[in-house]
Amino acid sequence: MATESKRLRIPLFNRWNSLRAREARLAWFLILPTAIIVFGLIVFPAFFSIWISFHDVGLGNLNDVFSAPFIGFQNYTDVFNDFAFKFQGLNSWGAAVTSIVYSFVATTLTVLIGLVAALLLNRPFRGRGPVRAIFLFPYVAPIVSVAFVWRWILDPRPSGVLNDVLMRLELIDLPLAFLAERGLALLIVVMFEAWRYFPFAMLMILARLQAIDGTLYEAADVDGAGTMAKFRWVTLPELRYVLGAIFLLRLMWTFNKFDDIFLLTGGGFGTKVLPILTYEFSFKLFDFGKGAATAMILFTILVVFLIVYARVVMRNVDED
């Protein structure tokens, strides 16, 4: 309190020179370059994207964006009426429904496989360190390499490895075009996603598993709990929060993901998700306004998820 009243009485000049003020100035100076780059190249463009989505921006006026004509919700209605976007029955889901189904299924599978992997690595055994390192490979390797090696494994010709193996096992008679068949392609993309991103879930779950208080298991032992009972009544409740957090993060990132599907199927055969549609509108048709409108729809769906998630799932976790 003494310092507070003293600070009020000192003249402005001294306050400018005070240690606290100099500290704050130095802090701003240190963070300014980062702030300028992040705000200039991410936060501003994000708002600019809203502006673009209400204007008619094409290749012709790209260099003079700010004088692009205002067209209200035209871009949005165009997107909603686009056959690639809207749901038209079970044979043609449209990008919005495909995106939602794809992200939910892929995220759930990723978290489940991550949980299994974490449980496998939880107990010490010889060679656990190297095994854990190998488990991280799919997540660390460049997306282009792993996407193309999977395309090559899933090659539709009889010379594709998976086709060869399945035909030798006599599970199929004719080679399958895994990535070029509606339904199957989406399933494969979901499985690829789980293969690539389970290590992220695994690492976070493993960290939490190692932090569980051992006395909880001892207490369960005293009560006569078996392995399954201990998992159900001790491990899972302890993991609830981290599982919720991973699910949320992965759901966001999967929903926003462009590279994986673009490289695997190019967005064909029932795998056209919203990020791919955004890319096609903008950089194939060069209708940037329509692309931006699609991106804004994508972002809106994402924010709705987050709010619902925060209100339903996170509140339940907090009650614990």
Partner 1 sequence: MEKEADVSPTTRPRYGKQGTLIDQLAAWITWPRFIVAVGISFFLFSILFPFYWMVSSSFKSREEIGGREPVYIPSALRLDAYKELFDPESPIGRFGGNIVNSLKIAIPTALIALILSTLGAYAIARMRFRGQSVMLNGILLVYLFPGVLLIIPLFAMLARIGDSIGFNVQDNLPVLVVTYLAMTLPVALYMLANYFRTIPVEIEQAAMIDGASRLGVIWRITLPLAVPALVSVAIYCFMIAWNEFLFALVFLNDREMFTMPIKINTIFNDPTPRPHVVMAASTIMTIPVVILFLALERYLAEGLSAGSVKG
- State which of positions 62-91 bind partner 1 (CB under 8 A): 62-66
C-beta separation of 289 from 69 below 8 A: no
CA 160 from centre of chain? 30
Among 80, 299, 313, 317, binds partner 1 (CB under 8 A): 299
With contacts defined by CB under 8 A, name the span among 4-12, 84-92, 180-188, 274-282 that binds partner 1.
274-282
Residue 90 or 228: the one with the smaller Cβ distance to partner 1 is 228
Counts for the chain of helices (H) and strands (E), in that order: 17, 0
Write the Ramachandran bin of 176: left for phi over 0, alpha for psi from -120 to 50, otherwise beta: beta
Among 158, 183, 308, 315, binds partner 1 (CB under 8 A): 158
With contacts defined by CB under 8 A, name the span among 6-14, 19-27, 81-89, 103-111 that binds partner 1.
19-27
Angle at CA 46, nearest 5°, toward 40 and 50?
A: 135
Residue 85 or 150: the one with the smaller Cβ distance to partner 1 is 150
Among 38, 304, 310, 312, binds partner 1 (CB under 8 A): 38
Residue 88 or 128: the one with the smaller Cβ distance to partner 1 is 128
Question: To the nearest whole angstrom, how small is the minimum distance from the Cβ of residue 247 to partner 1?
Answer: 12
DSSP 186-201: HHHHHHHHHHHHHHHH
Binding mask 227-256 for partner 1 (x = CB under 8 A): xxxx--xx--x-------x---x--xx-xx
Residue 55 or 93: the one with the smaller Cβ distance to partner 1 is 55
Closest CA to 267 of 245, 294, 243, 241: 294
Residue 32, burial from CB neighbour count under 10 angstroms (0-12, 13-18, 19+): exposed
Distance CA 1, CA 204 (A): 44
Among 16, 17, 24, 315, binds partner 1 (CB under 8 A): 24
Distance CA 137, CA 199 (A): 8
Q: Which segments within 12-56 are labelled E, that is strand?
A: none
204 touching partner 1, by CB under 8 A: yes
SS3 45: helix
Say how many residues touch partner 1, by CB under 8 A: 111
Question: To the nearest whole angstrom, how small is the minimum distance from the Cβ of residue 90 to partner 1?
Answer: 27
140 touching partner 1, by CB under 8 A: yes
Residue 105 or 274: the one with the smaller Cβ distance to partner 1 is 274
Closest CA to 178 of 151, 198, 216: 151
187 touching partner 1, by CB under 8 A: no
The token pair that represents 47 in the structure block: 């708002």
Strand partners for 55: 70
269 touching partner 1, by CB under 8 A: no
Among 14, 15, 16, 153, binds partner 1 (CB under 8 A): 153
Strand partners for 58: 287
With contacts defined by CB under 8 A, name the span among 45-53, 76-84, 90-98, 181-189 that binds partner 1.
45-53
DSSP 238-251: HHHHHHHHHHHHHH
Closest CA to 274 of 289, 253, 258: 258
Question: To the nearest whole angstrom, how small is the minimum distance from the Cβ of residue 87 to partner 1?
Answer: 21
13 touching partner 1, by CB under 8 A: no
With contacts defined by CB under 8 A, name the span among 2-10, 73-81, 181-189, 284-292 that binds partner 1.
284-292
